[in-house]
Amino acid sequence: MPCTVIVGGFFGDEGKGKIASYLAIKDKLDLAVRTGSVNAGHTVAWKNRKYKLRIIPSAFIHEKCRLLIGAGANLNVSIFLKEVKETNSEKRVGIDFQTSIIEEKHIKEDRGDEHLSKKIGTTGQGVGPAIAERVRRKAKLARDIEELKPYLTDVALEVNQALNLGKKVLIEGTQGTYLSLYHGTYPYVTGRDTTASAICSEVGIGPKKVDDVLIVFKAYVTRVGAGPLPNELSPEEADKRGWTEIATVTGRRRRVAPFNFQLAKRAIMINSATQIALTKLDIVYPECKGARSYNELSPKAKKFIEEIESKLKVPVTLIGTGEEVHDIIDLRMEKLEK
């Protein structure tokens, strides 16, 4: 803080929504900015309810936090308006006037393209075709949509002014490093760069404005759709371990593999990560479920965390131990003071 960027370290689905929502409450964020598009879902478990968000920042649970959508994002208007109502955030949401719009024709094109839908395994949300149209300089922007006019703002200006005043800003990245168009497992990637540098670019802040890059790793690796997944487990083995997951947006079963140190090390390099958030430790080590202090963790879980820090050379500052927002062990005071 005051400016932290959250980025996914693997193939998405790392639990970035949980981390963002926790930081919103714990650190009393002033602004949170969402990047990316509706092909990435963030799940927030708050007050006995699950929110599955695709565009509104996960930080919405802190009611005094200003919620923004960056210029580099791609917006589905109906999904946005639905989530605004669901999160009761009408009076504090802003969309950059240059955010581009996903239209019905983009969704049809996405789902009708055999290469995208069958070979690559896209989510079929129209994101790739919408980005392509933006590159051709033919896209509709938020400023062109009547329903969005009450929400229009200059996000880059808002964020930079807030940072100049010392306010706390969180930039919420989507998907994961290895789905990056440039640094991922091409062609089995998304239609944009998903790394920390690109996340900042979508919002409109320069690298000197960033204080921390918080990279999120799950205690195991999952992937939706086609593409390489080193050491992939069979569905039967995933079920046996209790690692089976269903994707938020597509409803598809996620492919599963053990934690990959080689991928994690490269992701840290590409993103200049300064901290690690480790999620779903309780899935790999069920005895740790609901733990909120490091001393509550089992010896095996502690050894795993120590191995991560030893091999990756970055401190593990946040550890997720359950679905609820507050099911987190927060080690920032301890680790960052050293």
| Active-site choice (30, 42, 212, 330) | 42
Token pair 């839908």 is at which residue? Answer: 117
DSSP 31-74: EEEE-S-TTS-EEEEETTEEEEESSS-GGGGSTT-EEEE-TT-E
Residue 289: partners with Cβ closer than 8 Å, 6 or more residues away: 282, 321, 322, 327
CA-nearest of 317, 323, 322 to 215 is: 317
**Residue 106 annotated among the catalytic residues of the structure:** no
CB 144 within 8 A of CB 53: no
CA-nearest of 193, 81, 213 to 146 is: 81
CB 89 within 8 A of CB 285: no
169-172 vs 152-153, strand pairing mode:
unpaired
**Residue 42 annotated among the catalytic residues of the structure:** yes
Which H helix or E strand runs over 222? Answer: strand 220-223
CA-nearest of 99, 108, 96, 102 to 130 is: 102
The token pair at 271 is 């993103």
For the beta carbon of residue 117, count every other beta carbon within 10 angstroms: 15
What is Dmax (Cα atoms) for the chain?
A: 57
Token pair 């069979």 is at which residue? Answer: 234
CA-nearest of 69, 66, 60 to 25 is: 60
CB-neighbour burial class of residue 12 (10 A; exposed 0-12, middle 13-18, buried 19+): buried
Tell me which residues are annotated as active site.
13, 42
